[in-house]
A = this chain, B = another copy of it.
């Protein structure tokens, strides 16, 4: 009782602590169908609160780095990944996010290319999960991931963001598969290719992808620049 009261008092005095977390998306083949699906790496908590549960990778903000630098650093430290796309998602600051203290989390979301995702560290305490089968996570991390998914789908519908989930060269069918995986519906191949080919950021190469048991598709590449965040705006 007394200790509980003391905790409340301590909570009132200490300033809210600031943390950075990241929702990382990558494409991986589904176990059964083999089609690409969205996956997210999570880390197991090794201390209270929520000890033993899975959570988003994250950590504190150090003094010598910007928010975005902090995000990509702890992304590298916990999963070994270097994102091809990194953008601020939202600042979560609800009063009861953590049972022990008031924490404000500035959350980023990242896309990594499949070649990188394959190299990612995986261990007892770092594991990849299908974005649609996560189970219950620590803190409010399910809410955060839901919102990140919503943002991803939204950006996908307009922006040219899908390409950051692919390697440098890709076929138009691969782009379509990305859309199908993220939006979770099938798209007409012919109409989809007409639309993609109309966007000027996509350039034809004269390479073809060999190896399929069918006509080899042409390879394309993406020549657009990342984003329009305040943090990224200066870099033209």
Which positions in A face B, CB cutoff 8 Å? 11-12, 15-18, 61, 63-67, 88, 90-95, 102, 104, 106, 143-144, 147, 150, 228-231, 233
A230 with B147: CB separation less than 8 A: yes
A91 with B63: CB separation less than 8 A: no
Closest approach, in angstroms, between the C-beta of A15 and any C-beta of chain B? 6
Bound-complex Cα distance A64 to B102 (A): 10
Residues from chain B with Cβ under 8 Å of A67 in the complex? 91, 93, 104
A selection of 19 A-B contacts at a CB cut-off of 8 Å is A15-B15, A15-B17, A16-B63, A18-B18, A61-B93, A63-B102, A66-B95, A67-B91, A67-B93, A67-B104, A88-B90, A88-B91, A90-B229, A91-B91, A92-B230, A94-B231, A106-B106, A144-B230, A150-B228
Number of copies: 2
**Chain A interface mostly helix, strand, loop or mixed?**
mixed
Bound-complex Cα distance A15 to B61 (A): 9
Residues from chain B with Cβ under 8 Å of A18 in the complex? 15-16, 18, 104
Closest approach, in angstroms, between the C-beta of A231 and any C-beta of chain B? 8
A106 with B93: CB separation less than 8 A: yes
Bound-complex Cα distance A15 to B11 (A): 16
Residues from chain B with Cβ under 8 Å of A17 in the complex? 15
Closest approach, in angstroms, between the C-beta of A145 and any C-beta of chain B? 11
Closest approach, in angstroms, between the C-beta of A227 and any C-beta of chain B? 12
B93 with A11: CB separation less than 8 A: no
Residues from chain B with Cβ under 8 Å of A104 in the complex? 18, 61, 67, 106
Bound-complex Cα distance A230 to B71 (A): 20
Bound-complex Cα distance A95 to B62 (A): 10
| In-complex Cβ contact of A61 among B16, B63, B92 (8 A) | B16
Closest approach, in angstroms, between the C-beta of A32 and any C-beta of chain B? 32
Residues from chain B with Cβ under 8 Å of A65 in the complex? 95
Residues from chain B with Cβ under 8 Å of A91 in the complex? 67, 88, 91, 106
